[in-house]
Structure 1
Amino acid sequence: MNKICCLHFLQCLLLGATQDCVFNEDKKEHNFGRACCRSDGLPSDKDLITGTKICCNGTLHDREGQKCCNGKLYDPEEKVCCGSELHTRPPTPHVCCGGVIHLDSTPPTLGCCGGMEMYNRTTQICCEYNGSFSVASKNNRDCCYDKDYDINKEHCVSNRVVGLGEDLCGDTVFNTSSNVCCNVTLHEIPTYPWKCCGENVYDVNSLQCCKAFKTTIPISQNCCGKDFGTNSTEICCNGVAHPKEPSLTCCGTERVDNVTTGCCAAKPYNTTTHQCCSEYMNIIIKLC
């Protein structure tokens, strides 16, 4: 036989996943990349990629006017491949579903949901997701992944169908008129003006949220670090609070004076004995 697969039949089946072997094109028995079927022992990658050849049952054939159905070549003008079997092509519109040919009308109205269940596309909807499916009436209904729901009573939240006025907090359904979800933690809606700060709710009239650390402090303070804030008498140096003094400024997490101390890459140094070489990655060197 002058047309052979690059691997023996068994090797193609066992090694297809790693060798990118095309054995039967209609079954997608190959990976992306280098094709496996060869003609006369020579690589046929170019022929397959350019669409001039078809690989069927481990053998390379001219693609024009031919398709492959479960290892059998056929003329798509005369035959239909359905359920891995060849059928005579009906003269009218048709749908293959569940391995069975179903005759359709003109214009076509039938569809196949999940590859298994017939439905009327004008009056029904098909909800498909990840191999699961359902068919329902189109009347006031929509899809939530593979489930259908009544749009007048429900809505879709993160692949879940919940009632109008409901939402999800993690995996828990809650009533939005009486509860609030803060970072997957449920709370009763407070009587005061509120916002979420991390997992907690807080009174916006008296507190503020330091979002970087998701902590609350009085509105009279400024956020500084993880556990506290600063007021008008303090200075915040990279998350560390210090008493505020006119002659002092921040250098990293420390306070330094502006007279004899400089700051080099967030590190203080004595300006009378050292200098900062900013052109050399802010290295502090001793003066000569």
Structure 2
Amino acid sequence: MNNQDKTRFCDDRHINKLFSSNNHVCCGGILHPRNVNGSVQECCNNEIYNKRLDLCCNGVHHSSYNIDQHGCCGSKVYNFTDEMCCGSQIHRLNSTRLCCGNETFDARLQWCSSDLGTMAMHENKCGEMKYDIRKNMCCNKKLIPRKQNDARCCGSSAFNHSSHYCLREKILRKGFLWCQHHGEYNPIIHDCCEGKLFRRNGSAWRCCGSKMINYDEYNCCAGNRYNNRNEQCCGGNVAKLEDTCCAGETIDPKTQVCCQKTLFTNEVVIQKEKPYHNKCCPSINGGKSYDSVNYACSWENRIVSRKNKRNICGRKIYNPGNDLCCNSKVFKNAARRNMACCLPSASVYNPRTHVCCFGVRRKGYSCTKTLYRPRCPRKCGNKKTTLKNYCKSSRGKFNQTSRQFRNIRKPMRSIGRGRSCQCLYRKRTRTANSSCRFKESRCVSYKGLIGILVTRKSGKYILMYYRKKGRRLINDFCDSTL
């Protein structure tokens, strides 16, 4: 700040005096020193006062007050320790009362509205009015009598929340939907298709535009049904199955060719340069047609002769007969071992034992279900029997319950004290081996786990867990054996 910003003019009997605001104060046309005995002086309605000993409240000078215990309330002075200031009114200090405008209210029983002032706890504001929330409801600034405790607002109306619900300011019964021009409907019996109500003829009947179609026989294409056996949906239009669809339209194979979508280009239709061209090599400008018999499109999007073409993966040359190119990475001898690419990642997997789930190799046959091979649990203590022995020794002597399992670990948790289990296999085989003389168990193997038999200590069967289709296999085998 320069000197011109710190200077002021003080009018004393029409005599202008130039002074500095840091050292002096002008009050009533008279210059006074800013600091006196270590205290700061200010002007209060043309009267000089000491800020340490006095107060100036809205132009009214109050002298001889302790500023650490007193303050201004409008033009009056109040004590911080005994009083409270609400607006411009002074009230006695109370720990349970708060300010609401110029008045106080009991915060335990009341609350303050900026428009309507103090209100009771069971009161609220609806527009410009007070109302009792125990007797009325305010729905969209409209007072409605409260008929149930579970009532809710829906637009300007009230409804019972236990039996109805609100949908776009319309009150509907629970389980029902709204259809334009028809009102509410039961979605189990009817369906609303673009404002038209139809009766359902089965679970396969659903909306297709403004019509109902059977999705077991037809598919929907932008509101039009088509038979996927001999038709297809191309860009929202129904076309013949033998037509070529490209970029949302059918093309004339005699004069046009389709350029497939790539990482940098979209699918596009181009005109053939020669009648015998049947492929397109994409580019940023669209693409160029070529004859795929004698020419090929390189990874640089250039049309080259097949005699001079090199199979390039990334920056390496590879043999497609033996190797695999997955996301610009070469996997040696992967094609010879019948491996496949797991895109979009740069990895390979064996389709016979694994499945590719969005770039992640997972053991099994499905991305949602993992391959699980049930084995005889350790809890059974390696007790095993065959289906033949089970049918001969146990069938007809007990009446056990049976349950199907998918994962044997879960039912094994239910086997408590006083119970044991035995694994039931389809057959038992014996192999000739020189080590059989030392350990008999090496020559015996069980194949095809069917179920788990739960027994008591007395040997009585009480429960059987069986695999899928295991119950039918057990009954058919035992019926043929006995």
Give the shorter-chain TM-score range.
Answer: 0.5 to 0.7
Residue identity in the other structure for 1:136:
H
Q: Is the 8 A contact 2:9 2:19 kept in 1?
A: no
| TM-score, normalised by the number of residues in structure 2 | 0.37
Q: Over residues 169-191 of structure 1, what are the superposed CA-to-partner deviations in whole Å (9 max), with x where a residue is unaligned? A: 22222223322322322223214
Aligned with 2:48: secondary structure? Answer: strand
SS at match of 1:187: strand
Listed as ranges, the matches of 1:103-114 within 5 Å are: 103-106=63-66, 108-114=68-74
CA contact (8 A) 2:8 2:18 kept: yes
Indicate the residue corresponding to 1:185 in structure 2: 142
1:81 paired with 2:30, answer no
Corresponding residue to 1:102 among 62, 65, 70: 62
Q: Which amino acid aligns with 2:113?
A: V
How many Å separate the matches in 1 of 2:197 and 2:124? Answer: 45
Deviation at 1:286, TM superposition (A): 3.9
Counterpart of 1:44?
none
In structure 2, the residue matched to 1:262 is: 221
Gap runs ≥5 in structure 2: 11-16, 237-246, 252-482
Aligned pair in 2 of structure 1 residues 198, 63: CA closer, same or farther (>3 Å)? Answer: same
Structure 1 equivalent of residue 166 of structure 2: 209
Give the distance between the partners of 1:126 and 1:223, measured in 2 at CA.
56
**Hey, what's the Cα distance between the residues in 2 that align with 1:134 and 1:126?**
6
Structure 1 CA distance for aligned equivalents of residues 33 and 53 of structure 2: 17
Partners of 1:98 and 1:192 in 2: CA distance: 52
Aligned equivalent of 1:222: 177
Question: Equivalent residue of 1:208, what SS?
Answer: strand
Q: Is the 8 A contact 1:111 1:120 kept in 2?
A: yes
The separation in 2 between residues aligned to 1:177 and 1:261, in whole angstroms, is 53
Classify 1:53/1:216 alpha carbon distance in 2 versus 1 (closer, same or farther; 3 Å): same
RMSD: 4.3
2: CA distance between counterparts of 1:70 and 1:225? Answer: 78
CA-to-aligned-CA distance 1:143-162 (integer Å, 9 cap, x gap) = 12444324355321344211
Residues 1:108 and 1:192: Cα distance change in structure 2 (over 3 Å): closer
Q: Structure 1 52/215 Cα, relative in aligned 2: closer, same or farther at 3 Å?
A: farther
Task: Give the CA deviation at 1:216.
Answer: 0.3
- Residue number in structure 2 paired with 1:127: 86
Structure with the greater alpha carbon radius of gyration: 2
Structure 1 position 167, deviation (Å): 2.0
Quick one: structure 1 residues 275 and 187, their matched pair in 2 at CA, closer, same or farther if it must change by over 3 Å?
closer
Q: 1:236 Cα deviation (Å)?
A: 4.4
> Please, which of 93, 96, 111 is the counterpart of residue 138 of structure 1?
93
Distance in 2 between residues matched to 1:183 and 1:164, nearest whole Å: 21
Structure 1 residues 226 and 98, CA gap change in structure 2 (3 angstroms): farther
Q: CA deviation at 1:138?
A: 1.9
Question: Is residue 166 of structure 1 aligned with residue 117 of structure 2?
Answer: no
Supply the distance in 2 between the matched residues of 1:71 and 1:262 (Cα, whole angstroms): 90
**Counterpart position of 2:110:** 154
Q: Is the 8 A contact 1:194 1:202 kept in 2?
A: yes
- Give SS of 1:287's match: strand
The answer to whether the 8 A contact 2:22-2:34 is kept is no
Q: Which moved more, 1:226-235 or 1:189-198?
A: 226-235
**Map of 2:390 onto structure 1:** none
Q: How far has the Cα of 1:247 moved from its partner?
A: 4.9
| Equivalent position SS for 1:93 | coil
Instruction: Tell me the CA shift for residue 217 of structure 1.
Output: 1.3
The secondary structure found in structure 1 opposite 2:35 is: coil
**Aligned letter for 2:60?**
V
Q: State the AA in 1 paired with 2:142.
A: T
Judged with a 3 Å threshold, the aligned counterparts in structure 2 of structure 1 residues 80 and 229 are, in CA distance, closer, same or farther, namely: same
**Alpha-carbon distance in 2 for matches of 1:256, 1:94:** 87
CA distance in 1, matches of 2:18, 2:250: 79
- The Cα shift of 1:96 comes to 0.7
Partner of 2:357: none
Separation in 2, partners of 1:269, 1:64: 88
Say if 2:53 is the partner of 1:93.
yes
Deviations 1:108-151 (A, max 9, x none): 2221123x2322222222223xxxx3332223431124443243
Taking structure 1 as the reference length, the TM-score comes to: 0.58
How far has the Cα of 1:207 moved from its partner?
A: 2.0
